[in-house]
Amino acid sequence: MNQLDFWFEFGSTYSYPAAMRIESLASRHGIPVAWRPFLLGPIFREQGWDDSPFNLYPAKGRYMWRDLERICVEQKLAFRRPSTFPRNGLLAARLACAASSEAWLPEFVRRVYLANFAEDREIADARVLESILVSLNQPAALLREAQSPEAKARLRSQTDEAKSLGIFGAPTFVAGSELFWGNDRLESALARAKSLAPR
Amino acid sequence: MNQLDFWFEFGSTYSYPAAMRIESLASRHGIPVAWRPFLLGPIFREQGWDDSPFNLYPAKGRYMWRDLERICVEQKLAFRRPSTFPRNGLLAARLACAASSEAWLPEFVRRVYLANFAEDREIADARVLESILVSLNQPAALLREAQSPEAKARLRSQTDEAKSLGIFGAPTFVAGSELFWGNDRLESALARAKSLAPR
């Protein structure tokens, strides 16, 4: 099957430009995208990190912010460095996970990324997510549902699946059995997905 | 000045495809390249790592080997996974540092990378480096000179310079005051170098 799985984490910086461009790029190639939110926290903790590596390794962090800024200029994306990093994407990820088959999901994801990386809004705040749902004409009640045991379990199992696929960072694209890590690998991932037999 | 500084480490996997393509790509853009060998070991140790992160973080390592294989296919580069990783590039780096103004340096660097990543030869072995020097019609005596106190000091100070520039991995390209990390950033680095005022 020639679908592309897009594994993203709402707190992840390089997931932002990937989320903003994947749908238009993939549709130009005729490749359907499966949006797969997950959490990096549990994966980082297993590597012994209790924070983003961009905070743990300052030289790497300084470089990343500058690099992201350049990418946003290139992609013509708004960018404002978040005053908190990384932001906790747990609630947004539960919501996105519960809404995985909804047509409005991609736009929801993009608006959450814009809130975090272009508007410096606190995406861990339920009111911020509620305003995004409302802007998409979706009921605020989805937020309560995202806190249900089923929704929590769903994100946990999706994060376990990421781990078992060998995912260690975000964004990661999966085409067939191949992993492609990083916004800059999206084109290679799409080429790979195209080379696979259609569904 | 519109020169591009190419910071590389002989043990570094992604430095291999970068070393193989930088000269032809840069010359097509009319950008002179300064070849700057350095050591990642001291920089990694400051981050608390006593080994390559690709060994310390197995999921990342597994991904890197597959990714490198794909890149080599794309660049039509020979590739054989080295039986030892990372190989110690100290002697080769001292030699390259001492030969920084020699016209044969780029070809020497490429042959050392080929030895490591295409031929699975031990680049820490002086005999391997000697055979490369001989293949370039250069005197084996350069190996002794590369072990002189001056040559050792030169590589040390070049590694210190890398650190002070904020370099934390290899390959890194420096255009003006901007860092570009990774083989996949070479095109962006060249575009940046081109945009700077000519020397």
> Which residues have a Cβ under 8 Å from the Cβ of A94 and sit 6 or more positions away?
A146, A147, A151, A152, A154, A155
Distance CA B158, CA B165 (A): 11
Do A168 and B63 count as a contact with CB atoms less than 8 A apart?
yes
pLDDT for A2: 84
Mutation site, A45, A51, A57, interface B, largest B CB count within 10 A: A57
Task: Nearest chain B residue to A182 by CA: give it.
Answer: B184
The nearest CA of chain A is from the CA of B179 a distance in Å of: 7
- List of domains in chain A: 4-195 (3.40.30.10)
Share of chain B above pLDDT 90, in %: 96
Q: How many A×B Cβ pairs under 8 Å?
A: 39
Residues of A in contact with B169 (CB under 8 A): 60
Inter-chain touch B66–A179, beta carbons under 8 Å = yes
Probe site for chain B from A46, A51, A67 (most B CB atoms < 10 A): A67
- Interchain pair B63, A184: CB under 8 A: no
User: What interhelical angle do A105-117 and A126-135 show, nearest 10?
Assistant: 130
What is the DSSP track for B82-119? -SSSS---HHHHHHHHHTTT-TTHHHHHHHHHHHHHTS
Q: Which residue of B has its CA nearest to A59?
A: B166
So what's the ipTM on this one?
0.93
The pTM of the full predicted model, rounded to 2 decimals, is 0.95
- pLDDT for B38 beyond 70: yes
Please write the tens of the pLDDT for every residue from A104-163.
999 999 999 999 999 999 999 999 999 999 999 999 999 999 999 999 999 999 999 999
Q: How far apart are CA A37 and CA A78, in angstroms?
A: 22
Q: Which residue has the tokens 């190419």?
A: B6
Q: What pLDDT does B1 receive?
A: 61
Q: What is the mean pLDDT of residues A96-105?
A: 95
Measured distance CA(A71)–CA(A171) in Å, rounded: 15
Q: Is the dihedral of CA A100, A104, A107, A113 positive or negative?
A: negative
Cα distance between the two ends of chain B: 4
- Mention every residue, 6+ apart, whose C-beta is less than 8 A from residue B121: B115, B128
Q: Which of B47, B168, B188 sits opposite A63 (nearest CB)?
A: B168
Sign of the alpha-carbon torsion through B74, B80, B86, B87:
negative
Q: Is the pLDDT of residue B136 over 70?
A: yes
**pLDDT 10s digits, A2-56:** 899 999 999 999 999 999 999 999 999 999 999 999 999 999 999 899 999 999 9
Above 80 in pLDDT, residue B198?
Answer: no
pLDDT category of residue A66 using cuts at 50, 70 and 90: very high
pLDDT band at A65 (very low <50, low <70, confident <90, very high): very high
Q: Is the pLDDT of residue B199 over 60?
A: no
pLDDT at residue B134 tops 90: yes
Q: What is the pLDDT of residues B98-116, one digit of tens each?
A: 999 999 999 999 999 999 9
Q: Do B179 and A60 touch (CB under 8 A)?
A: no
